[in-house]
Amino acid sequence: MRGYTRWVPRSKSKLGDWHEYATERLREAGYHKGGGRERVVGLLAGKSCAVSALEIDAELNGVGRATVYRALDQLEQLGLIRRIELGLDSTGFEKVGPQGHHHHHIVCSNCGKVIPFEDQPLEKAIRAIAKRSGVSLESHDVTLRGTCTGCD
Amino acid sequence: MRGYTRWVPRSKSKLGDWHEYATERLREAGYHKGGGRERVVGLLAGKSCAVSALEIDAELNGVGRATVYRALDQLEQLGLIRRIELGLDSTGFEKVGPQGHHHHHIVCSNCGKVIPFEDQPLEKAIRAIAKRSGVSLESHDVTLRGTCTGCD
DNA sequence: GTATGTGCAAAGGCTTTGCACACGT
DNA sequence: ACGTGTGCAAAGCCTTTGCACATAC
């Protein structure tokens, strides 16, 4: 089938330049460099899919948990990352590319596996809804849940 | 424009029979009747859009908060309601009709206003994605965020 | 030198759990 | 009577805040 759906790699990043893009945006925003925030940015740059604040904290020795939360807050406000709810108590964060490039997720309700994807008809439908509503669309989240092929 | 988008009334319920539908399903599942859970069901029956656990607790005098959370848990497991994240720390619950009938939301990032809607092209795109992925779709959430017409 | 950034620990807020009593069956 | 349901209070967990010290500018 010639589908419109693109299955996004979960670990390799398509946004290879996100790291410098984010660094530049942070600098423009007047943030000082060096320290915990940069390590958070570096870690996020290496992940293409959602990571939780606690996971980041666990991977970053020497960086305080509060710093992680503060950095995520700042990055989100600059639109460099977005916050998504995949499980029921996870709250993941993942980077957003220069043109708002992002993907959505399918979550297996049995094993928790996450399948990231991009889909044009879906995006088109969403843009149409926003247009009809009169709302100027800033962001959107889509999450599908079901049993994956390995859990049938 | 002849759109496919249907703007769902926020207070009047299209699922007028949800109350008895839910009651019947609870009975089948072996739950005893009478008490806090029924008051939670009654309250949810009167709302067509999301309500938070704390809002329910506040509206139901004499019903303990733990009972509210427990009831919501049970209703969710029976597929009678679904859990959605509209704001950043709200966690809303809203009923799901007999055939899985539900709607999605547009949230104004400025005033917090919630606009519920139904849209066929969107649902179609989602079904297509699920089919291509091989996942047997159980549920899905879609949330749009932006500035509403009143906040321009 | 001054403002920003950071780590640690304490505080907050929503949600869950323990336990004894009340109620439905 | 027995097991389920409930309220209250305490505990849990993620997240935020306060504060003194360190670092960037």
For B57, what's the count of Cα atoms within 13 Å in the CB-facing half-sphere?
A: 13
Distance, in Å, from the CA atom of B99 to the CA atom of B46, rounded to the nearest integer, reads: 19
- Report, in this order, helix, strand and coil percent for chain B, each rounded to 5: 40, 25, 40
pLDDT of residue B129: 97
pLDDT (tens digit per residue) in A14-38 = 556 899 999 999 999 999 998 899 9
Full strand arrangement of the beta sheet holding A104-108? A5-7, A114-119, A104-108, A136-147, B136-147, B104-108, B114-119, B5-7
* pLDDT at B24 exceeding the cut of 80: yes
Question: What is the DSSP secondary-structure string of A4-60?
Answer: SEEE--SSS-S-TTHHHHHHHHHHHTT---SSHHHHHHHHHHT-SS-EEHHHHHHHS
Which residues, 6 or more positions from B111, have their beta carbon under 8 angstroms from its beta carbon? B148, B150, B151
Residues from chain A that touch B127, judged by Cβ atoms under 8 A, are none
Question: Sorting pLDDT into bands at 50, 70 and 90, what band is B119?
Answer: very high
Nucleotide nearest to B34 (CA to C1'): C24
* pLDDT at B1 exceeding the cut of 60: no
Averaged over B38-45, what is the pLDDT?
97
B72 alpha-carbon distance from chain centroid: 11
pLDDT of residue A10: 67
Query: Is strand C less than 7 A from the beta carbon of A94?
Result: no
Amino acid present at A147: T
- What is the share, in percent, of chain B residues with pLDDT greater than 70? 92
- Mean per-residue pLDDT over chain B, rounded: 91
| C chain positions with any atom within 7 Å of a protein CB | 4-10, 13-18, 23-25
* pLDDT at B90 exceeding the cut of 90: no
Question: Sorting pLDDT into bands at 50, 70 and 90, what band is A124?
Answer: very high
- A106 contacts B138? CB cut-off 8 A: no
Averaged over B61-81, what is the pLDDT?
96
pLDDT of residue B111: 85
- Residue at token pair 């940069």: A38
Tell me which residues of chain A, numbers 23 to 82, contact chain B at a CB-CB cutoff of 8 Å: none
Beta carbons of B128 and A117 less than 8 angstroms apart: no
The length of chain B in residues reads 152
Distance, in Å, from the CA atom of A38 to the CA atom of A110, rounded to the nearest integer, reads: 36
pLDDT of residue A63: 96
Nucleotide nearest to A52 (CA to C1'): D14
Beta carbons of A87 and A107 less than 8 angstroms apart: yes
* pLDDT at A13 exceeding the cut of 60: no
Query: pTM score, two decimals?
Result: 0.89
Beta pairing partners, A115? A106
- What is the share, in percent, of chain A residues with pLDDT greater than 70? 92
Footprint of strand D on the protein (CB under 7 A): A 32-35, 52-54, 65-66, 69-70, 73, 89, 91; B 31-32, 34-38, 62-67, 70-71
pLDDT of residue A15: 59
> Residue B68 CA to C16 C1' — how many Å?
12
